[in-house]
Amino acid sequence: MLQNTGKLAGCTLFITGASRGIGKAIALKAARDGANIIIAAKTAEPHPKLPGTIYTAAQEVEAAGGKALACVVDIRDEQQIGEAVQKAVDKFGGIDILINNASAISLTGTLETPMKKVDLMLGINLRGTYLTSKLVLPHLLKSRSPHILNLSPPLNLNPVWFKNHTAYTMAKYGMSMCVLGMAEEFRGQIAVNALWPRTAIQTAAMDMLGGDGVGKQCRTADIMADAAYAILSKPKDYTGHFVVDEDILKEEGIKDFDQYAVQPGHPLLPDFFLDEAPESLVEQMEQHGATPAFKPPTSATSSSGPIESTFNVIRGVLNEDVVKSTQGIYQFDLSGENPGVWFLDLKSGSGSAGQGQPPIKADVVMTMDSNDFSKMFAGKLKPTMAFMSGKLRIKGDMTLAMKLEKLMGRMNKAKL
């Protein structure tokens, strides 16, 4: 591990999304120097699936030797950010470092990504980063060693990083473009840099994307905390860099990277936007027991024809009420004239549907002929009758399978 040197003692860091994961790891690293940490995040109450709140993170910061200020902040809300910034200045006298860590992710294609998720990603990743930077900048200009550090990737314009998740890439690259622009705009006044991991980092988001088997292919958030510490310890003329964690730690003399591995010696999964193509990442994950949520569609699966037409109508009737009343994830394994695997997510957000494996493990898998599938969603064949006649095989929650009839009714009203 990179040793603390005390360079951040007395510095005040404003960190978005610091209640867990990489944001919290950076906070704890700085706290060991005796830094002041503003934990700006949304989680004030315990989440049923995600660890920690802003208050538990604040307790850990103070236990590590720092001072903490927990602020409930949605970084899409200008007023909430402004109030948190003012509280930080009132309590600590200023702000020296901004860490733009908060981020939203949905690794879905254009047709499968509801506009609500597009707005969420652009609102948090791009607008939130820009807005938080804008409101903190006046205080950074008064600091002796001011830094902005965005957790975002190098601007790799290879189309392979756009084709499967254009909306996410646009949003994430928006954070990187903030680095590119602000580094030049404030050159000589504020250091503005980006940091990205060489390999996957074990976080709640990674567990969601890769399933139970992905953890052993990851490094811990400590490597990002050490890399961030190395950047923040540099003078303000170190600016405009898109830093990869492993590279800067090698420059700092770190040679043993097994110490950062969740399972030392196990093959590691490269992160997005660097050298490995998405298809290679999927193959590596599956070889070691993970189930990637972002698996690109294969050429063997047709993306046109009657099944695609059916799913276009399905997408048109999805909304939060349907999701709330269903709470299930469906996988359709189709054979016959239009074979392929399709999914219907009626468990999260406003729902999504599309080609390929579902984003997380399906609650019910329905296997049938593609023609019978079209008939079923056209209202010409009820799931109950399809099951009883042997045309439909169901694995998983039978109740959820029967709930599809409500969605089919909506579709018929939409004139399938």
Which strand (E) or helix (H) includes residue 409? helix 398-413
Residue type at position 40: A
Please give the backbone phi and psi of residue 348, each rounded to the nearest 5 degrees, phi first: -130, 145
- 173 included as an active-site residue: no
Residue of 55, 130, 168, 173 with catalytic role: 168
Tell me the three-class secondary structure of 387-404, residue by residue. HHCCCEEEEECHHHHHHH
- Asked if 70 contacts 9 with a C-beta cutoff of 8 angstroms, the reply is no
Distant-in-sequence contacts of 339-346, Cβ < 8 A, 24+ apart: 339/301, 339/302, 339/370, 340/300, 340/301, 340/302, 340/307, 340/370, 341/301, 342/307, 342/311, 344/314, 346/318, 346/322, 346/407
Beta strands in 115-211 (DSSP E): 147-150, 191-196
- Nearest-angstrom CA–CA distance, 285 and 357: 14
Residue type at position 159: P
Helix (H, G, I), strand (E, B) or coil at 331: strand
* Both structure tokens of 132: 């938080």
Torsion angle in degrees (nearest 10) through CA of 227, 1, 275, 269: -130
Helix (H), strand (E) counts: the chain: 15, 12
Helix (H, G, I), strand (E, B) or coil at 41: strand
- Asked if 210 contacts 293 with a C-beta cutoff of 8 angstroms, the reply is yes
Strands 340-346 and 352-355: antiparallel
Bridge partners, 201 (sequence order): 219
Which strand (E) or helix (H) includes residue 184? helix 166-185
Active-site residue list: 168
